[in-house]
Amino acid sequence: MSKVNILSIQIQPKIGYQQKNLQKIREFIEKYADTSLDLVVLPEFFNSGVSVPEFKKMAQKQFNDEVVEYLGLLAKKHNTYILAGSIMEQENGRMYNTSRLLNRNGEQISKYRKIHLFDSFGGTENEYCTAGDEIVVVQTDFGKVGISVCFDIRFPKHFLNLVKNGAELILEPAAWCAPNELVEQMQSQWVVLNRARAVDNLVYFVSSNLCGKVDSTFSACGHSMIASPDGEVLAEADNEENAIFATIDLDYVRQLRSQFCMDKLVG
């Protein structure tokens, strides 16, 4: 199996309304139910929105279990993998920004704890969250999938490590936000980084971002994207709630890599 049907979902989650946020996810998936989905990618903080008090609440086990169970039923019903972009979790008194991959049977088969916390440009994620320390590449029934989250995209070595471990497709859930007056600038950076990570690493690169206003001063930048290893944008969202779909061919990655000295790329 080399062709993979991918859906990336972009939403503006409502803080304090987890069930409504999950219902939005279900509605988007059901709109594409006739496309034989292989993989659905959800944004960072899709269930909670961007709110530190909400993060601390949703990190509790009962909320984690509710989200994973809900998405597991959707994955099984639609026979698709689902990347639960990130769900805050708590372990031994520490919070982690964690992305979880569910298989077609609705079972969690892997999780990735965000390594590069947003601690720059005024970000304070490191003050309430603990960084992960493990690169994650998962073998699926269609190929090897690498996982990153949001600010990871600014660190090229992270993606080289994913490729070293065999990643052919890299997923990037995000809550890429900016002050309202800088949104267009940050959108431009986001688009460039998506395409660059695809080309740099000879992978398909799939991002799922939040959109809309976070509060009166900050907004999420939208523009979720599916980019090919030659830099072509196969699908891109705008600034509104939306879902984008594309069929990718992992044989194309393998073909390009056969023509390129991968030892030079990964070092």
Catalytic residues: 44, 114, 150
CA angle 245, 211, 223 (to 5 degrees): 45
Is the distance from CB of 192 to CB of 185 less than 8 angstroms? no
Is the distance from CB of 235 to CB of 8 less than 8 angstroms? yes
Q: Give start and end residues of each alpha helix (H) in the chain.
A: 18-31, 52-58, 61-78, 125-128, 156-164, 183-201, 250-258, 262-266
Q: What are phi and psi of 119, to 5 degrees?
A: -120, 20
Q: What gap in Å lies between CA 154 and CA 151, rounded to an integer?
A: 6
Q: Residue 48 to residues 26, 63, 75, 141, 200: CA-CA distances in angstroms?
A: 16, 10, 20, 30, 32
Query: Around Cβ 217, how many Cβ atoms within 10 Å?
Result: 10
Q: What does the radius of gyration of the chain's CA atoms come to, in whole angstroms?
A: 17
Token look-up 């990735």 returns: 112
Q: What are the b/e assignments for 131-165, b being 16+ CB within 10 Å? A: ebeebbbbebebbbbbbbbbbbbeeeebbbbbbee
Pairing status of strand 169-174 against strand 204-209: parallel
